Structure 1
């Protein structure tokens, strides 16, 4: 049922206002570069999981761990958000930092419940502090990073026949040492070595590379836990204590990501080596056994992130980009603290150098895994304003096309036609006044990002298909059928009228972390001098 449709007589004045192709919809721009995608994904994580400086594991009881604080610090650097960085670091100092400068692992319900430090968190936090010092011109942060890194070197490393290795915590000093392969971070070692001049960081880089290579000799995939003895003997393990079955699980998946971003070709080759042991199926289980067999039917963004990194390390860039797309789609469809963190971190580590590494996909102008929330400010050196994603250069995660749109609240029930972009840079409008179109070089409705739907508001003879679009209200539903038999459903969240001459492309078409719609038509006054309406109406809808 249509809500309050105007009569044809009411629309007689509008009937003579022919809507030209260039005037009916908003201008489209090229997909934003790697830096802007990094800012977008990082900002999305920060806005979702950070509460007054505390990174909250919302799906794990609402606690906070030092790992999460470190991720928040890294992503605040990636987002170029100094204020958020200070809030996260201040909360960390006030609530987690110990007298020896290391960070207590877990905080819950107002106090620390496990004061043991975890070296991956301390390493990531030290790296973030040094990077923030450089990014924000802050010697105080750089000094804190060097100090935290030195405390880690003093208390959580050991020298073995393979070289210096990173211990998971001060509790692992006895041989054979409990060892977590995913804690090693060659890029972090390099950042801290440059900042401090401490040669132990270079030793740690060499020892970690040797230990990882030895582990891959023992088993084709890194496992969550292993042991490294002082004599250089390595073995896979089921847990830090040695019990259980070894798995390539939520810890281990970080290993190829951390090695793929290294500037040392030998490290990247180790990441590429892991790709050969991973399943090649499009649907990848969240966890694998030590031989690469699935142990769960669950899917998780971190698993796709890891395979993308391994493939990139082996110079299989096209396959890596496809997994980046699957990573982001999984993060969107099944959002979790850990998955969203590694969606954002992997976007930065594999395609941007903002975290001090050498991203293997840095020459990829449109990595599909990064169409996520937020946008860089105009004029920011970190990237230009966001535009519409262009699947000509971004691998599609689905070959489906949208075929039909239904908006019951205003009586729209129409097949969809494809729309291209004209030579003037504006999206072309449908040639049929009662047809609804979707921008084919943009986001597929139902995929992650802002998909664009456009149609005319009127015609020379009366109302057109989007005449009642201004009557939509928050909560109204939009359904889009697709050629693969699926239906993408959306809920209207708001309407905005904007001037065409100053169309806010950066804010309206900014990358977002979930599937969304931008439904566009003409609005405002008719300008007889130009033969166009002066405004656009933009309806925003989110998946629901």
Structure 2
């Protein structure tokens, strides 16, 4: 993300706190226990006719509690494994992946710049293929004015494949769903970084270059879903 006029880099919008990833709450829990036994029927003494005679009204039957609803099925995911390489065949992208975290002020670290600079995985997000949104970041342009690794994200169309090779030797295959541009001052943090029931991918770069200020005013976010 280099300003064409000043050479200054303008970073990505990051979550205010890493706690947006509620990873402990994403997995399916243990199967619910069976419903408790219905209460025992009324005792012989209470069920017997009262002193009033045989016409006395018998006690009402005690209804058994309703069985709990079965847990909702969640989409299948892959075991956690850090990403190594990203490939997007339709736009000719193949990049090794670095790891980024948060600075002390909780702002997101920025990928290295320069021609041929790789994309990066935000290492406080899930690994690609695991449950939740894995976040990958890359530049739209380079320090020499050429294209960055994510320069062509806007060219992606519905159904395009995005492959992430992982440390365990498996490949998480995602399918492009949509791309959205957001003003950095109105970035929908929970929409981008919040939990998802299945495995999803977010590719984030800068967007909306403003020649009057030499800055990028927006971020562009690709949303993709695991298909294999």
Q: TM-score, normalised by structure 1?
A: 0.32
Do the aligned residues in 1 keep the contact of 2:20 with 2:193 (CA within 8 Å)?
Answer: no
Residue correspondence of structure 1 range 383-398 to structure 2 within 5 A: 398=80
2:119 and 2:88 map into 1 onto residues whose CA distance is 11
Do the aligned residues in 1 keep the contact of 2:3 with 2:215 (CA within 8 Å)?
Answer: no
Aligned with residue 12 of structure 2, among 18, 25, 46: 25
Deviation at 1:332, TM superposition (A): 2.5
2:129 and 2:174 map into 1 onto residues whose CA distance is 9
Residue correspondence of structure 1 range 211-230 to structure 2 within 5 A: none
2:185 is the alignment partner of 1:540: no
Deviation at 1:511, TM superposition (A): 0.8
Q: Deviations over 1:90-130 (max 9, x none)?
A: xxxxxxxxxxxxxxxxxxxxxxxxxxxxx95xx9xxxxxxx
The 3-state SS of whatever aligns with 1:507 is helix
2:209 is the alignment partner of 1:466: no
Pair 518,438 (structure 1): closer, same or farther in 2 beyond 3 Å: same
2:184 is the alignment partner of 1:500: yes
Deviation at 1:460, TM superposition (A): 2.8
1:452 and 1:19 map into 2 onto residues whose CA distance is 24
* Paired residue total: 194
Deviation at 1:446, TM superposition (A): 0.7
Do the aligned residues in 1 keep the contact of 2:97 with 2:119 (CA within 8 Å)?
Answer: yes
Pair 423,532 (structure 1): closer, same or farther in 2 beyond 3 Å: farther
2:84 and 2:21 map into 1 onto residues whose CA distance is 30
Deviation at 1:157, TM superposition (A): 2.6
The 3-state SS of whatever aligns with 2:154 is helix
Return 5+ residue gaps in structure 1 as ranges.
1-12, 42-70, 72-118, 124-152, 162-172, 174-182, 186-250, 255-301, 303-327, 335-396
Counterpart of 1:332? 75
Counterpart of 2:58? none
Q: TM-score, normalised by structure 2?
A: 0.71
Return 5+ residue gaps in structure 2 as ranges.
44-60, 62-66
Aligned with residue 85 of structure 2, among 379, 395, 404: 404
2:111 is the alignment partner of 1:430: yes
2:186 is the alignment partner of 1:525: no
The 3-state SS of whatever aligns with 1:332 is coil
1:489 and 1:521 map into 2 onto residues whose CA distance is 20
Counterpart of 2:55? none
Q: Deviations over 1:147-173 (max 9, x none)?
A: xxxxxx9xx531599xxxxxxxxxxx9
Do the aligned residues in 1 keep the contact of 2:21 with 2:193 (CA within 8 Å)?
Answer: no
The 3-state SS of whatever aligns with 2:185 is coil
2:211 and 2:105 map into 1 onto residues whose CA distance is 20
Do the aligned residues in 1 keep the contact of 2:5 with 2:211 (CA within 8 Å)?
Answer: no
Pair 446,33 (structure 1): closer, same or farther in 2 beyond 3 Å: closer
RMSD, matched Cα: 3.6
Deviation at 1:463, TM superposition (A): 1.4
Pair 27,33 (structure 1): closer, same or farther in 2 beyond 3 Å: closer
Q: Deviations over 1:262-286 (max 9, x none)?
A: xxxxxxxxxxxxxxxxxxxxxxxxx
Counterpart of 2:123? 440
Counterpart of 1:454? 137
Deviation at 1:437, TM superposition (A): 0.4
Deviation at 1:427, TM superposition (A): 1.8
Pair 513,33 (structure 1): closer, same or farther in 2 beyond 3 Å: closer
Residue correspondence of structure 1 range 484-499 to structure 2 within 5 A: 484-499=168-183
2:4 and 2:109 map into 1 onto residues whose CA distance is 20
2:200 is the alignment partner of 1:516: yes
Deviation at 1:14, TM superposition (A): 6.2
Counterpart of 1:417? 98
Pair 31,160 (structure 1): closer, same or farther in 2 beyond 3 Å: farther
Which structure's CA Rg is the greater one? Answer: 2
Whose helix proportion is higher, 1 or 2?
A: 1
Do the aligned residues in 1 keep the contact of 2:113 with 2:143 (CA within 8 Å)?
Answer: no
Do the aligned residues in 1 keep the contact of 2:3 with 2:216 (CA within 8 Å)?
Answer: no
The 3-state SS of whatever aligns with 1:463 is coil
Structure 1 residue ranges, 4+ long, deviating more than 4 angstroms after superposition: 13-17
